[in-house]
Every structure is written in C-alpha cells, then in structure tokens.
C-alpha cells in the first residue's frame, strides 16, 4: 500500500504529470519516479559544482533554453536499487524526438528534499540526465528502468514556455474576472514586487550590484541558449540596458528604474513567473481549463521555488537553515492514513493541507476538511503567503496568519504575535483535556477523525501541545489555580521570539540553530578514540535578555520537585515526570513502581490514572522539560501526584500548612492568611521556611515593599512595621559571602536596566527575599546582578 501511495504522489507540482507502468510484474515494480531536481546556490557550493552552473527551482514549467535536471529516484527501503542494471532515457517534444544530455550533477549530490532523502536515492545506474528545451511546448521524458528481475517504465511531462512579464499576469489577475484569483494588487504590497526597483534606485544601500539581480529579476539566465526566453537577461541584451553606475535616486521623476525600457521593467523584480514558471502557454490558453496539462504553470509546494534564491548562506540563509529543521522531515504517516482520517491530519502535516485550512480560516469559513492529502514537507510556502493575501500591512514576512488561533478547548489566543502561526498547529489536537479523558474512558472518538472505540493514539493532547503549555491552559487542574510563567506575556512574538533568534554567522551553531531551523540547541561531534561523542549546546542568548548569565536551559529556579534543594529546572521537571510515571500502570495494566518513558494508556484505567496520564503526556510531549512554562508544568505534575497519593506532597505548601495547622480546611492555613497578625502572610513565610505561628521572626516589610531579613536592611530605607503593598514582586535569590548583589528592573526590554534600592553585600550564605511594588505598572522585568565585593 505504501509503495502505491509513493508512486501516485510522485511530483507535488501542478504542471508536471508523472506516470508509471511495469512491463514485467516484479517485487520491485513501481519503486521508481522521475523528478526535476531543484539546484540551489548552496548546492553549487556544498558539492563543489562549477560556479557557472545554472540554478533551478525544479519547476515543471521552464524557460526556453533553461535546464531541467532530471533524475530517476528509487526507494532505499529494499534491494531494488542494487538490482538496476541500466536506465534507457528518451524524450519527445513539439518537434518529435528530443536529445537528452548528461547531467552536470554528480552522484555525490543527493535527492533534493531532506524528507525524500529518508525514502529515496538517485538510481546508481545512469540515474541523471539534463533536458534543455529549444522550443515552446510539451515535453515527455521517459525512463525504462532495467533491473535483473524486470523493467519499470516511468515518465514525466514538462512544459517549456517564454516569459511574458508581470503586466500580462495583471491583465487577468487584478480582479473583476469571475473565478480568476485576484493576486496582483496584493502582490504589489510585498517586498518581492519592489526589491529590484529599490535596489537600482539606491534605496537599500550602496552594496546593490549586478550580482544581486539574478534573484531579483524574472527569468535571469545568462546561458546563450536561453537568450530568447523573454527573461530579464535576454531582454536586457536586446535593449542594451546596463546596470547604473550611480544608484542615487536624485530625480524622483526620472529614476534609474523608470528610465529603463518598459518591456525590461515588466520582467524586473520578483514576479509571478519566478515561482510559477514562464507563462506564455498559460496566457495563450485564455483560461481554457480543458487545455492539456492545464494550468500550464506550476503551483509549487516544493521548497525549491524559494530555495533557488534563499539557500545562499551566509547572507541569504533562511532556506539553508530550513534544511536543519524538523519541518523539513515531517512524517509521511498522515498521508498514508485512510482519506477519512488523513483529511484531518494533513492540515498540519503537509503544505497543501495547512494552506487549505489557514486560507479558509482567514476567509471566515472556519475549519474545513482538506481533500488534498499529497505529502509535502512543511516548507516555505506553508508559513509564508507570497502573494500578500490576507497579510497585515505591518508584516513584511508574509506570514499566513497572525491574528488569532482557537485551541482545541475553545480558548482563543490573540497575544502570540507571529507565533500565532506556530500555535495554529502546535496545540492539542484532541479538544479539551476533560473531554478527551471522558470520551476515551467512555470508548467514543476523542477527536474528529478518531476511531471508535478509541486507540491509545487517540488519548492525550497529541504530539505537540506547546501552545497550550506556553499559555498555561488545557491540562487537568483538579479545580486548582495553577500558576504560569510570564513567557506568554513578555516574549515578543511568543514561539518566534525565542526559536527564531539570530545566530551570528561566526558561531558554530549558525545554520544549525535559530532562524528557520527553529532549533534552540545544536550538536557538535568529537571523537574519543573510536567513540564519537555528541555535544549539545543550548542557544541561551535570547534567554539571557531576561535571565542573565545562564549557560544552558537547565538552570536552577525553584525546588519544584520538592527534593530539598534547587536543581536545574529541566532536572526538576524530569524528576516529577519520573515520579508520576511510577504511580501509573505499565503496559500490562499493573502499577509496578517503575519509571516509564512512554505510557500505554488503556480505557479501563481509573479516572485518576487517566487524568494523571494526560498531564504526564502534556508535559512530556511539550518537549521543553519546563522551559516553556515551568510553574504550569510542575504545577500539574505535582497536582497529579497529589491526586494519586493524597493531598500533601512532601515539601509542598499543602504539607507545610497541614503540618502547622492540622488541616487545609483551617482558615489559618490559607496562603494569604496572617494568623499571627505580624503583616507577613503564610505564603511568604512558607517561601522563607518560617513558622507561620510565630510573629516577628526577623522579617519586616516596609511600605514600599522592601524586606528586612535577619535584621539586615536590603533596601536602604528607614524600617517600619506598616504593611502597605497592593501588588508586589517577590524576588528570591541565594547569596554567597564576599559577593555583592544588585536588583534591577525595567518595564520594557528595549529600555535600560535601573537599580532597585542599594547594592546588597552578602556576609554569609543564605536566601534573600526582596519584595518590590509593582502597582501601576502593566509589566516589569527583574534581574539580580552579582559581582565580587570590592
């Protein structure tokens, strides 16, 4: 079944038609395909190819005289490749037989997509050729793949055309024609529409040169065979235009761009035909959808159309970074599901599915099913809308959606900025936590497309509930108010603000983390004798804007796991995950006390076990081990442990209050109660390890929120026993003798840090707690700077 799916979804391009047949029925039939391979600037550098080699977007519609680098790809999951003895290539075109030439791509160049490299390799026997069409029309390339046990015939159809220029596209796509997409007006607002214009008019700096225009114009190909293709270089040669020596736009009425020949202006900038291919066949068909191979243009979901320019590190590295991302190798499993299920899965697992769902959301149609279940990795077009449709004018990244996202439990999130796009997929698929547990226990489908009775795959929040975690919602909370970190409020653009941090090109983590890799860490490898050692480096630069001085994500925050000492936050979360897993059944349904790395959840588990299992999966599947939202992650884990073992977890507030007050129902046990009347609430005495039944334990609060601890004034103000705090921040930090500490605050990370109170000189080891008022401020950030005491 998988083999048949692969052959039917050979080429994810409209305008390219691939067919396959087997002359002999063999175990290896239908394991081959013909692909037009994109070739990027980074490919040329990485594989040591000639610098003069023409790059390619791998489109199925190409210009006259422009090469298509064709290859036969065969699966690597069986022995088919090793049985191939030869490939016999042939091609027919508008004038009959067409000569194919040897490809300039050596076998060291792999198949294009990272996801395809997991499945395909280029045939080791005569697997590559080059097609360079000489006249416009349809070309069918065939390959007879000869193997020891039979022959498999594969073919692909491509179109050759000439460039018409953007004004021809605008004639139909400017609105007013029923059924014709209105793309041109919105495209005019994008950076693609004016990048060349700005460059030659000196509006983007003096660095702009001839080397830039190969990507900033349409159909730029300096090969002599392509001079008649209607592209920028050919028209430039015909008109005799030369690149201006002076980029300064000194006369607005007669700028460098406006003084160019008009027909050259029409193929300047990054226009429709850069991505869709030359449009002469499409234009002359005049909308006849019955024309063979309609629409005679590409609608590419393959990243090659973008990578032809954006895979050119270090200066144009977005595409290069993408190769190192998990998005580039997203699973193909959803597209192999039954259509009734796949229509729900592909909305997040394929480019076409995501575009369908987001476009309908933007149009106000809500969530709709997606019938296009072809596999495409999550690439450039998935997240970016190149035509500028429905894009806020303030966004120059052409992000498809960033207004709001509705989570599975109905929560509408509007504060995520550009991260709204990420959260559209990165949230719990399976509805609300409470409903998921109840439906699973009742043996009914837990999500649209889920099975009845549900399988273990239908239980829990699904694979990537990072949006729910950051927002601190949709876990089992047992009726408690679980606190959240400030990340959801303070990190600009949420997910994007951290995962797409800029990494210097001089860093060993460049192209492996940050940017479009979306990775927060990178790996390097060293050898110790015959052993390869993997070293992981966390990219904490963006974290240090707030947290200051950390070197990895596992830095100490609080004793979340109640172990009696403060360990790294990820260590604390893992301790709680392990502890909770010991309280849950194993795959045989027995609570054996073992630590588990995965759960085999069954519908006959008790409600308490299912609720705890949901929270375990919620934290485990988030993947950050508390970094996204440590208070919420540890809060729900502790709550689940308490629900399975009793209300008081050793070291928790409940245990502390029960110890002093005998019962949590005692009014004096409430966190904000002040049973001694000394102005210090229970929660603060708990945080400082003090007895709540004893007043005036060397702790005095001042009207401005300054704390007296152990008789040592931290704020440098006259002490008073009056408590007058409406809202305050509790800043707690450990001290070491011989060290000076300075608390600082800022209301916006773009401002400079300001000192709060005087510097604190520590004379012994201990824990300092400092309260500072926050009333009247919408937000504040705090940090503690330490340095050796002079």
Per-residue pLDDT tens for 251-299? 666 889 999 999 999 999 999 999 999 999 999 998 888 888 899 999 9
Comparing 20 with 134, the larger pLDDT belongs to 134
Grade residue 173 by pLDDT with cuts at 50, 70 and 90: very high
C-alpha distance from residue 10 to each of 16, 34, 336, 678 (Å): 10, 8, 14, 75
Using 50, 70 and 90 to split pLDDT, how confident is the model at 413?
A: very high
3-state secondary structure at position 95: coil
Does the pLDDT value for residue 248 go beyond 90? no
Q: How many CB atoms lie within 10 A of CB 654?
A: 16
Q: What pLDDT was estimated at residue 728?
A: 58
Q: Which CATH class is domain 2-161?
A: mainly beta
Task: Please tell me the least confidently modeled range out of 32-36, 103-107, 472-476, 693-697.
Answer: 693-697
Confidence (pLDDT) at 611: 96
Residue 268: other Cβ atoms inside 10 A? 26
18: confidence class by pLDDT, cuts 50, 70, 90: very low
Q: What is the pLDDT of residue 366?
A: 62
Q: Which residues pair with 528 in a beta bridge?
A: 531
Q: Which one is predicted more confidently, 776 or 225?
A: 225
pLDDT digit string (tens) for 740-757?
888 888 776 666 778 877
Q: Which of 71-85, 220-234, 719-733 has the highest mean pLDDT?
A: 220-234
- DSSP letter string over 310-348? H-BTTTB-HHHHHTTSGGGG--SHHHHS-HHHHHHHHHH
Q: Give one word for 570, left, alpha or beta, with left for phi > 0 and alpha for psi -120 to 50.
A: alpha
What is the reported pLDDT for 230?
Answer: 96
Q: Give the model's confidence band at 771: pLDDT under 50 very low, under 70 low, under 90 confident, else very high.
A: low
Angle subtended by helix axes 607-622 and 433-442, to nearest 10: 130
665-676 average pLDDT score: 77
Q: Could you tell me what percent of the chain has a pLDDT over 70?
A: 86
Q: What is the mean pLDDT of the chain?
A: 84
> Where residue 23 falls among pLDDT bands split at 50, 70, 90?
very low
> What pLDDT does residue 374 have?
81
Is residue 788 predicted with pLDDT exceeding 80? yes
pTM to 2 decimals?
A: 0.79
Highest mean pLDDT among 90-104, 452-466, 707-721: 90-104
Higher pLDDT, 486 or 687: 486
Cβ proximity of 401 and 360 under 8 Å: no
pLDDT for 580 equals 95
**C-alpha to C-alpha distance for 9 and 342, rounded to whole angstroms:** 14
More confident residue, 681 or 625: 625
**Beta-strand relationship, 150-161 and 61-63:** parallel
**Highest mean pLDDT: which range of 4-13, 131-140, 351-360, 449-458:** 131-140
Residue 215: is its pLDDT beyond 70?
A: yes
Q: Which range among 298-307, 397-406, 493-502, 756-765 shows the weakest confidence by mean pLDDT? A: 756-765
DSSP string covering 140-194 = EEEEEEEETTEEEEEEEEEEEE----HHHHHHHHTS-STTS---HHHHTTSGGGT
The pLDDT of residue 365: 67
pLDDT at 656 over 50: yes
Q: Mean per-residue pLDDT for 57-74?
A: 96
Residue 43: per-residue pLDDT: 96
pLDDT at 715 over 50: no
Q: Domain limits of the chain?
A: 2-161, 166-277, 502-538, 698-790
Of 457 and 232, more confident: 232
The CA distance from 578 to 140, in Å, is 59
Q: Is the pLDDT of residue 153 over 80?
A: yes
| CB neighbourhood size of 324 (10 A) | 19
């Amino acid at each position: 079944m998988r083999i048949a799916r692969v052959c039917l979804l050979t080429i994810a391009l409209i305008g390219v038609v691939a067919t396959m047949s087997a002359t002999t029925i063999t175990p290896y039939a239908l394991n081959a395909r013909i692909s037009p391979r994109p070739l990027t600037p980074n490919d040329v550098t990485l594989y040591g190819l000639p610098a003069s080699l023409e790059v390619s977007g791998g489109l199925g519609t190409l210009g006259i005289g422009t090469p298509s680098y064709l290859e036969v790809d065969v699966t690597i999951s069986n022995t088919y490749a090793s049985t191939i003895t030869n490939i016999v290539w042939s091609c027919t075109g508008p004038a009959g037989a067409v000569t194919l030439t040897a490809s300039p791509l050596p076998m060291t160049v792999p198949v294009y997509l990272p996801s395809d490299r997991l499945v395909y390799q280029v045939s080791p026997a005569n697997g590559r050729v080059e097609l360079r069409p000489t006249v416009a029309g349809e070309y069918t390339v065939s390959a007879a793949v000869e193997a020891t046990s039979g022959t498999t015939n594969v073919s692909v159809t491509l179109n050759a055309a000439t460039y018409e220029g953007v004004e021809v596209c605008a004639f139909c796509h400017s609105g007013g024609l029923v059924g014709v997409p209105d793309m041109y007006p919105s495209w005019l607002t994008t950076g693609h529409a004016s990048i060349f214009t700005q460059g030659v008019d000196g509006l983007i700096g003096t660095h702009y040169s001839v080397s830039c225009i190969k990507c900033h114009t349409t159909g730029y190909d300096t090969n002599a065979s392509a001079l008649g293709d209607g592209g920028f270089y050919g028209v430039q040669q015909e008109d005799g235009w030369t690149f201006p020596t002076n980029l300064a736009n000194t006369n607005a009425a007669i700028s460098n761009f406006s003084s160019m020949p008009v027909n050259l202006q029409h193929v300047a900038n990054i226009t429709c035909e850069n991505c869709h291919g030359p449009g002469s066949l499409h234009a002359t068909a005049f909308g006849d959808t019955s024309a063979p191979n309609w629409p005679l243009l590409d609608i590419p979901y393959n990243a090659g159309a973008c990578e032809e320019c954006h895979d050119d590190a270090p200066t144009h590295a977005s595409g290069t970074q993408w190769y190192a991302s998990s998005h580039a190798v997203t699973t193909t499993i959803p597209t192999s599901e039954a259509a009734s299920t796949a229509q729900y899965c592909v909305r997040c697992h394929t480019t076409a599915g995501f575009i369908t769902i987001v476009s309908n959301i933007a149009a106000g149609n809500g969530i709709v099913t997606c019938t296009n279940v072809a596999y495409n990795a999550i690439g450039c077009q998935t997240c970016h809308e190149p035509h500028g449709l429905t894009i806020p004018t303030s966004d120059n990244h052409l992000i498809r959606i960033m207004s709001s996202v509705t989570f599975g439990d109905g929560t509408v999130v509007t504060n995520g900025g550009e991260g709204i796009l990420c959260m559209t997929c990165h949230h719990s698929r399976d509805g609300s936590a409470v409903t998921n547990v109840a439906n699973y226990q009742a043996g009914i489908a837990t999500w649209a497309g889920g099975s009845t009775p549900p399988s273990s795959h239908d239980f829990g929040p699904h694979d990537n509930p990072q949006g729910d975690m950051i927002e601190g919602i949709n876990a089992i909370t047992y009726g408690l108010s679980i606190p959240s970190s400030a990340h959801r409020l303070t990190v600009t653009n949420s997910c994007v603000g951290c995962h797409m941090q800029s990494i210097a090109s001089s860093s060993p983590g460049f192209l492996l983390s940050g940017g479009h890799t979306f990775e927060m860490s990178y790996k390097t490898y060293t050898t110790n004798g015959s052993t390869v050692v993997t070293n992981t480096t966390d990219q904490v630069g963006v974290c240090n804007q707030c947290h200051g001085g950390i070197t990895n994500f596992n830095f100490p925050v609080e004793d979340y796991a109640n172990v009696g000492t403060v360990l790294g936050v990820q260590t604390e979360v893992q301790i709680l995950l392990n502890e909770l897993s010991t309280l849950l059944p194993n795959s045989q349904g027995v609570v054996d006390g073992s630590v588990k790395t995965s759960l085999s959840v069954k519908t006959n588990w008790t409600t308490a076990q299912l609720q705890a299992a949901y929270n375990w999966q919620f934290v485990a599947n988030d993947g950050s081990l508390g970094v996204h939202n440590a208070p919420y992650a540890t809060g729900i884990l502790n709550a689940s442990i308490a629900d399975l073992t009793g209300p008081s977890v050793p070291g928790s507030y409940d245990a502390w209050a029960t110890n002093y007050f005998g019962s949590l129902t005692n009014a004096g046990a409430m966190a904000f109660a002040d049973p001694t009347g000394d102005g210090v609430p229970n929660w603060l005495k708990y945080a400082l390890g003090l007895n709540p039944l004893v007043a005036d334990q060397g702790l005095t609060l001042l009207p401005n929120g300054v704390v007296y601890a152990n008789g040592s004034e931290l704020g440098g103000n006259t002490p008073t026993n009056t408590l007058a705090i409406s809202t305050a921040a509790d800043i707690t930090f450990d001290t070491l003798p011989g060290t000076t500490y300075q608390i600082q605050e800022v209301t916006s990370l773009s401002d400079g840090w300001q000192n709060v109170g005087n510097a604190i000189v520590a004379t012994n080891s201990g824990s300092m707690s400092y309260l500072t008022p926050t009333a009247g401020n919408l937000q504040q950030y705090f940090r503690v700077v330490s340095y050796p005491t002079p």
